[in-house]
Amino acid sequence: MLDERKLKVLYAIINSYIISAEPIGSRTLSKHYDLGVSSATIRNEMSDLEELGLLNKPHSSAGRIPSDKAYRLYVDSLLKLDNFILDEKKKQQIKNILVSESQEVDHLLQTSAKVLSEITNYTALAVSPHLKSSKIKHIQLLSIDENKVLLVLVNNSDIVKSTIFNLDKSITNNQLNTISNFLNSKLKGLSFEQLNNLIGPDILYDLYEYKDILEKLIPIINKSLDDSEYVELYSEGITRLLNYPEYKDLDKAKSILSFIEDKDLVLEMLMDDALCNEIDIVIGTENNYAQLKNSSIVTATYSIGGKTIGKIGVIGPTRMDYYKLINTLKLFSINISEILEKLFGK
Amino acid sequence: MLDERKLKVLYAIINSYIISAEPIGSRTLSKHYDLGVSSATIRNEMSDLEELGLLNKPHSSAGRIPSDKAYRLYVDSLLKLDNFILDEKKKQQIKNILVSESQEVDHLLQTSAKVLSEITNYTALAVSPHLKSSKIKHIQLLSIDENKVLLVLVNNSDIVKSTIFNLDKSITNNQLNTISNFLNSKLKGLSFEQLNNLIGPDILYDLYEYKDILEKLIPIINKSLDDSEYVELYSEGITRLLNYPEYKDLDKAKSILSFIEDKDLVLEMLMDDALCNEIDIVIGTENNYAQLKNSSIVTATYSIGGKTIGKIGVIGPTRMDYYKLINTLKLFSINISEILEKLFGK
DNA sequence: ATTAGCACTCCAACTAGTCGAGTGCTAACA
DNA sequence: TGTTAGCACTCGACTAGTTGGAGTGCTAAT
């Protein structure tokens, strides 16, 4: 059904459309791509491809444009190709930029998004590491004011979360230290997930002398642990999208930009469990979000110790240079993972 | 030179233009505003106003639109009016929304920006409190790993800043405690500004036994203090601007949106010392940034204990409803200040 | 199976004509 | 002398008609 020639025609159309964003006709195609057949033959093939749902016509006398289904075919073949050769030089270039910003995770991700957006000319997104599966390394309570206590949590990726809360009772640093030490001995090494229900009433018996205080503390610690599941989203280069003809219509631009501006929504989309592979691509209407029906997202994961802890990706029109994008994202994925590994890995 | 009638005509034009965004002619003006004179007279007045640089003509047979100078006149008279009556009901409404989000400063400001943008329909900006003039409340060093030390800084607004750094030498928590206590006793209550050059070599003499460690620590602490001057920018409702006809031209939209997206640039603009009054308004070309020549910014400050510590504001086309905006921003200014005062004030 | 040829379609760009809201000037008026 | 009615003129926005080019699909010949 899809013989080689049809594929050749289809890919030629896709490649041409990715560059020009213009519907492409049989004559132009036969002129610019050496397909060895005349425009009439191509016309017939195109007609077949349209019947297969791989091409669309904006109107009866216009050229054809690839459908989402066509991009899917194309992209799957790209991903299957596996002829990915790491461009060491490019990788190093990117790494050099990122390393200089890698003192802190948030900075690293922000810069990654910025650079990724610059390189690809699309909007770049980065999700900070999620703590869900990370392990607790240190818990510390500090008295910083008469009734105010600072709770500091450090996970095994050295991400720090601090919360200040009021205690309607004064407490000394020594007391807090005792509690901290106890909590540390009990909880260190456990994952945040496991922790959730662990700090329960039973702990009271072990530290009975601090019963009063612990009863106040426990819910606060639990809440703080809950909050730790919170991930940060970094987006960069939003306005770059306005350069693409597919968003020249103000309503389309508004639709996509306000989607990207809604961090909760974007996070919900990115945290979808389906996006868990080294590279994931969601094309046009494959998206569950109406606002993205003319856009694609390409995501990559980054990891520490082989464990995926965050994502980075781009968003843009369905007409994207997927090939370049896949390669670029792989470079970022590897680089970020390597940098984090060096900073926090065992 | 500017008699009452001219002012009346000018203000009528401004008010009309703020609503419609359309150039307004003498006939429409005389019909919709009761100025007691004919369109011909208004025509003469408009001609005079144009000569004074207060009105512009898009082209010879169009109506007039107010110039930046006209808005300045208008806005100055608004600010001078001082007939500002606190709308207690509205104030309370806003407060109710904000209070529920006021556990942490960053959350409060983010929500403030969000709500402000919703209410005004412009892009809202909020700058987090700057620590420059805030005072240090607590310094703590914690050992969280073999060679890793966590530095926690708390200021008098209970804003916490934490940094992790590697020490190529292992150090016990007890040693760190001693150093922490010493630093606390020395530095507590000082402003971050004062601190900058204070942690110098002289400190070594006081704590000679820790000389080796302190020599490593001091530059790190100083750097961390430097970083503390860093303020966060929250922007919300960027895409709202696309609804205004003045940005319907894609190039204009791109220009303003990419300005707003550049947080460094926006911060630089907002931190301008000229924007230090309860309400500040910068109109069109009064801005030092070419990208803002068709836009205005209106900012308000918020404070603790009468001391300005941050700003909140909106950005939009020069044709803004300044009156409403001033009142709304005042409400936000007061509310945020009150909430912060309650949370952190003495 | 492939291709040349041809009639047909449709959009984009251009042109010309009209309309309406506006201006500026002049002359008349209170 | 300030105000107003009247009028010629201007200019952009809109509409309708025209043209040209790029494309399609069909048919008949190779």
Tell me how far CA of residue B173 lies from CA of A59, A175, A327, in angstroms: 74, 16, 46
Under the banding of pLDDT at 50, 70 and 90, the label for residue A301 is very high
Q: DSSP letter string over A48-97?
A: HHHHTTSEE-SSTTS-BEE-HHHHHHHHHHHHHH------HHHHHHHHHH
Under the banding of pLDDT at 50, 70 and 90, the label for residue B56 is very high
Q: Which fold has domain A86-130+231-344?
A: Beta-Lactamase (3.30.450)
| pLDDT at B240 > cutoff 90 | yes
The residue among A153 and A295 whose pLDDT is bigger is: A295
pLDDT at residue B164 in the model: 81
* Reduced DSSP (H G I as helix, E B as strand, rest coil) percent helix, strand, coil of chain A, to 5: 50, 20, 30
Mean pLDDT of B225-230: 69
pLDDT at residue A56 in the model: 96
- Protein CB footprint (7 Å) on chain C nucleotides: 2-5, 8-11, 20-26
Closest chain A C-alpha to B124 CA, distance in angstroms: 13
Give CA–CA dist B211/B217, Å, rounded.
10
pLDDT at residue A135 in the model: 78
Under the banding of pLDDT at 50, 70 and 90, the label for residue B10 is very high
Identify all chain B residues contacting A253, using CB atoms and an 8 Å cutoff: 242, 250, 253
Mean pLDDT of A159-178: 82
CB-CB contact of B35 with B42 (8 Å)? yes
Mean pLDDT check: name the lowest of A285-294, B28-37, B128-137, B319-328: B128-137
pLDDT at residue B174 in the model: 85
pLDDT at residue A144 in the model: 83
- Computed over every residue of chain B, the mean pLDDT equals 89
Instruction: Measure A287 CA to C13 C1' (Å).
Output: 37
Under the banding of pLDDT at 50, 70 and 90, the label for residue B289 is very high
> Which residues contact residue A163 at a Cβ distance below 8 angstroms, ignoring those fewer than 6 apart?
A150, A151, A220, A224, A227
Mean pLDDT of B275-298: 96
Q: The dihedral of CA A191, A192, A193, A195: what is its sign?
A: positive
Identify all chain A residues contacting B150, using CB atoms and an 8 Å cutoff: 138, 152, 154, 160
Identify all chain B residues contacting A239, using CB atoms and an 8 Å cutoff: 254, 257-258, 261
Mean pLDDT of A19-26: 95
Nearest to A162 among B152, B239, B254 (CB): B152
pLDDT at residue B231 in the model: 86
pLDDT at residue A22 in the model: 95
CB-CB contact of A136 with A190 (8 Å)? yes
Mean pLDDT of A65-84: 91
Chain A contact present for B148, CB below 8 A:
yes
Q: Which two tokens stand for residue B46?
A: 């408009």
pLDDT at residue B303 in the model: 92
pLDDT at residue B175 in the model: 85
- Find, in chain A, the residue whose alpha carbon is nearest to that of B155: A144
pLDDT tens figures, B128-163: 987 666 778 888 999 888 878 888 988 877 778 888
Identify all chain A residues contacting B138, using CB atoms and an 8 Å cutoff: 142, 144-145, 150
Mean pLDDT of A109-116: 97
Chain A contact present for B262, CB below 8 A:
no
Mean pLDDT of B200-216: 70
Mean pLDDT check: name the lowest of A235-244, A294-303, B161-170, B329-338: B161-170
Instruction: Measure B78 CA to C23 C1' (Å).
Output: 31
Task: State the residue for tokens 């993205």.
Answer: A292
> Which residues contact residue A140 at a Cβ distance below 8 angstroms, ignoring those fewer than 6 apart?
A151, A152, A180, A184, B142
pLDDT at residue A346 in the model: 56
Which residues 181-240 of chain B have a CB within 8 Å of chain A?
236-239
Secondary structure in 3-state letters for chain B = CCCHHHHHHHHHHHHHHHHHCCCECHHHHHHHCCCCCCHHHHHHHHHHHHHCCCEECCCCCCCEEECHHHHHHHHHHHHHHCCCCCCHHHHHHHHHHHHCCCCCHHHHHHHHHHHHHHHHCCEEEEECCCCCCCEEEEEEEEECCCCEEEEEEEECCCCEEEEEEECCCCCCHHHHHHHHHHHHHHHCCCEHHHHCCCCCCCHHHHCHHHHHHHHHHHHHHHHHHHHCCCCCEEEECHHHHHHCHHHCCHHHHHHHHHHHHCHHHHHHHHCCCCCCCCEEEEEHHHCCCHHHCCEEEEEEEEEECCEEEEEEEEEEECCCCHHHHHHHHHHHHHHHHHHHHHHHCC
Please report the number of interchain residue pairs, chain A to chain B, with beta-carbon separation below 8 angstroms.
77
pLDDT at residue B199 in the model: 59
- Ranges A170-184, B82-96, B147-161, B250-264, most confident: B250-264
Nearest to B154 among A144, A248, A254 (CB): A144
| pLDDT at B346 > cutoff 70 | no
pLDDT at residue B131 in the model: 67
Instruction: Measure A244 CA to C2 C1' (Å).
Output: 39
- Protein CB footprint (7 Å) on chain D nucleotides: 3-6, 9-12, 21-27
User: B4-66: which CATH architecture?
Assistant: Orthogonal Bundle (1.10)
Closest chain B C-alpha to A309 CA, distance in angstroms: 20
Instruction: Measure A296 CA to D23 C1' (Å).
Output: 28
CB-CB contact of A328 with A143 (8 Å)? no
Give CA–CA dist A113/B127, Å, rounded.
22
Closest chain B C-alpha to A238 CA, distance in angstroms: 8
Q: Which two tokens stand for residue A98?
A: 């990122």
Tell me whether residues A239 and B250 touch, CB distance under 8 A.
Answer: no
Instruction: Measure A46 CA to C6 C1' (Å).
Output: 20
Tell me whether residues B150 and A154 touch, CB distance under 8 A.
Answer: yes
- Computed over every residue of chain A, the mean pLDDT equals 89
Closest chain B C-alpha to A105 CA, distance in angstroms: 11
pLDDT at residue B179 in the model: 86
Every domain of chain B and the residues it spans: 4-66, 84-130+231-344, 136-227
Pick the CATH number of B84-130+231-344 from 3.30.450.40, 3.20.20.210, 3.20.20.70, 3.30.360.10: 3.30.450.40
Chain B contact present for A242, CB below 8 A:
yes
Read off the DSSP letter of residue A346.
Answer: -
Tell me whether residues A142 and B140 touch, CB distance under 8 A.
Answer: yes
CB-CB contact of A25 with A16 (8 Å)? no
Q: Which two tokens stand for residue A151?
A: 């709770």
CATH classification code of B136-227: 3.30.390.60
pLDDT at residue B200 in the model: 60
Mean pLDDT of B212-236: 78
Q: The dihedral of CA B69, B71, B77, B82: what is its sign?
A: negative
Chain A contact present for B142, CB below 8 A:
yes
Mean pLDDT check: name the lowest of A130-139, A192-201, B100-109, B320-329: A192-201
Report, in angstroms and rounded to the nearest whole number, the Rg of chain B calculated over CA atoms. 26
Tell me whether residues B242 and A261 touch, CB distance under 8 A.
Answer: no
Determine what percent of chain B is predicted with pLDDT higher than 70: 92
Identify all chain A residues contacting B105, using CB atoms and an 8 Å cutoff: none
Give CA–CA dist B79/B322, Å, rounded.
10
**Listed residue (A233, A237, A247, A235) closest to A292, CA to CA:** A247
> Which residues contact residue A169 at a Cβ distance below 8 angstroms, ignoring those fewer than 6 apart?
A147, A212, A213, A216
Mean pLDDT check: name the lowest of A147-151, B202-206, B268-272: B202-206
Give CA–CA dist B106/B109, Å, rounded.
5
Instruction: Measure B245 CA to D7 C1' (Å).
Output: 34
Q: What angle do CA B146, A206, A192 make, to 5 degrees?
A: 50
CB-CB contact of A186 with A203 (8 Å)? yes
- Ranges A73-87, A163-177, B175-189, B329-343, most confident: B329-343
